[in-house]
């Protein structure tokens, strides 16, 4: 840009060497540790590789196999379902919690901290605690028994009908606190004068929410959306720790399927192809968002 710009502009944007070094050194590190392995991943997705012998080039064979792979279909549907449930619920519940906890009252800090606390814990540690609660003789079943709902008792993680939802709950439990903090910050930024004016005009609370809060939160919504999409697609730890995608693939996500094909079945070519699909999905959503954001900024 400096090269093609006019002389006046190039003088104005000349980059000092120190700044250049600050940009280039991390770029080189990033290129070596991130871009190169990522490109390797793209190359591997076109091969059949067991991790031992040299990879065999198979063209788009892995991708055409995917079309007929019923586990891939399950994992893709589950991933979409995960995105909708995990994303939708964490946004709704996070916003709800933020609205409830935005007023400065005595002891409010305790509730905020309590909701935010799960974010601080390692998700794997969280999952282990939830696993203990979901056990056949764990806390949840014991409570059901105690309140007379013994017939509802369940092997929550071992039943194909409940495993997927049983895994979502710990993930949500953590994400809600995170989204709540984002929304709390957004709510703080809304000018109270707007609400005063609305009250003077006789707007109900619902109308205030609909016509002031929501439009004012637009920029936060964009952040929340991208955080949720990225977090959904990279959700792996909690599922792996609780069910490993089982029983028989009923809680399989694309990420867990990628891991198990690559590192358990040692089909690293097919695993890389799955990784490429995940990348395309994530990149598609984020690029779509960035393009929109830039267009609005212009």
Partner 1 sequence: MTAFNASRRRFLVGAGAVGTSALLSSCVTQSPAASGGNSGGPVTLQSNLSSPQAKTAMQSIVAAFDKRGGAKAQLNTVASETFRTQLPTYLTSANPPDVYTWYPGSVAESYAKKDLLLGLDDIWAGPELSGYSDALKKLCTSASSGKKVFVPTSYYWWGVFYRKSNFAKWGVKEPKTWDEFLDLCDKLKSKGVAPIGLGAGGDTPWVASTWFDYLNIRVNGATYHRELLAGKHRFDDPEVRKVFDTWDQARPFFDPNGTAIPFQDATTALLQGRTGMMLIGTFFADAAPKDALGDLDFFQFPIIDPKVPVAEEAPTDGYFASARTKRTDETKELLRYLATAEAQELYLKSSSGTTLPTHPDAKDTGTPLVIKGRKLIESAADVTQFFNRDSSDALQPTADTALVHYLAKPKEIGSILTTWQRSAQQIWSQ
SS3 37: helix
Least separation, in Å, of the C-beta of 61 and partner 1? 11
By the 8 A CB rule, do 13 and 2 touch?
A: yes
Q: Rounded distance, CA 130 to CA 118, Å?
A: 12
Q: Which is nearer to partner 1, 177 or 271 (CB)?
A: 271
35 is an interface residue for partner 1 by CB under 8 A: yes
Q: Which is nearer to partner 1, 102 or 261 (CB)?
A: 261
48 is an interface residue for partner 1 by CB under 8 A: yes
200 is an interface residue for partner 1 by CB under 8 A: no
C-alpha dist (Å) from residue 34 to 120, 200, 280: 26, 55, 16
Q: Rounded distance, CA 247 to CA 48, Å?
A: 27
296 is an interface residue for partner 1 by CB under 8 A: no
31 is an interface residue for partner 1 by CB under 8 A: yes
Judged by CB under 8 A, the stretch of 31-39, 79-87, 91-99, 111-119 that binds partner 1 is 31-39
145 is an interface residue for partner 1 by CB under 8 A: no
253 is an interface residue for partner 1 by CB under 8 A: no
By the 8 A CB rule, do 166 and 134 touch?
A: yes
Q: Which of 227, 239, 111 is nearest to 178 (CA)?
A: 227
Residue bearing tokens 């903090």: 181
Q: Rounded distance, CA 128 to CA 105, Å?
A: 35
Least separation, in Å, of the C-beta of 290 and partner 1? 9
Q: Which of 231, 230, 236 is nearest to 289 (CA)?
A: 230
Judged by CB under 8 A, the stretch of 28-36, 80-88, 89-97, 189-197 that binds partner 1 is 28-36
215 is an interface residue for partner 1 by CB under 8 A: no
Which residues would be at the binding site for partner 1 (CB under 8 A)?
1, 4, 31, 35-37, 39-40, 43-44, 48-55, 70, 131, 135-136, 155, 157-160, 244, 246-249, 260, 263-267, 294, 297-298
């Amino acid at each position: 840009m400096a090269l093609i710009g006019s002389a006046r502009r190039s003088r104005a944007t000349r980059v000092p060497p120190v700044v250049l070094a600050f940009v280039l050194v991390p770029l080189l590190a990033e290129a070596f540790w991130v871009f190169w392995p990522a490109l390797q991943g793209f190359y591997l997705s076109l091969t059949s590789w067991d991790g031992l012998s040299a990879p065999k080039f198979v063209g788009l064979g892995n991708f055409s196999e995917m079309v007929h792979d019923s586990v891939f279909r399950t994992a893709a549907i589950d991933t979409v379902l995960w995105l909708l449930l995990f994303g939708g619920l964490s946004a709704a519940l996070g916003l709800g919690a933020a609205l409830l906890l935005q007023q400065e009252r005595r002891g409010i800090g305790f509730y905020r901290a309590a909701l935010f606390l799960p974010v601080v814990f390692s998700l794997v540690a969280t999952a282990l605690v939830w696993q203990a609660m979901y056990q056949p003789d764990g806390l949840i079943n014991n409570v059901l028994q105690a309140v007379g709902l013994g017939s509802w008792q369940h092997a929550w993680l071992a039943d194909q009908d409940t495993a997927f939802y049983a895994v979502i709950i710990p993930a949500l439990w953590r994400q809600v606190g995170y989204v709540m903090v984002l929304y709390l910050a957004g709510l703080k930024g809304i000018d109270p004068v707007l609400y005063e004016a609305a009250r003077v005009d006789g707007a109900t609370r619902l109308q205030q929410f609909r016509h002031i809060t929501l439009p004012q939160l637009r920029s936060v919504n964009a952040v929340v959306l991208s955080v949720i999409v990225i977090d959904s697609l990279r959700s792996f730890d909690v599922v792996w720790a609780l069910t490993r995608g089982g029983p028989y693939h009923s809680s399989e996500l694309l990420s867990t399927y990628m891991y198990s094909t690559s590192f358990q079945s040692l089909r690293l070519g097919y695993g890389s192809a799955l990784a490429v699909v995940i990348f395309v999905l994530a990149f598609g959503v984020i690029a779509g968002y960035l393009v929109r954001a830039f267009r609005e900024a212009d």
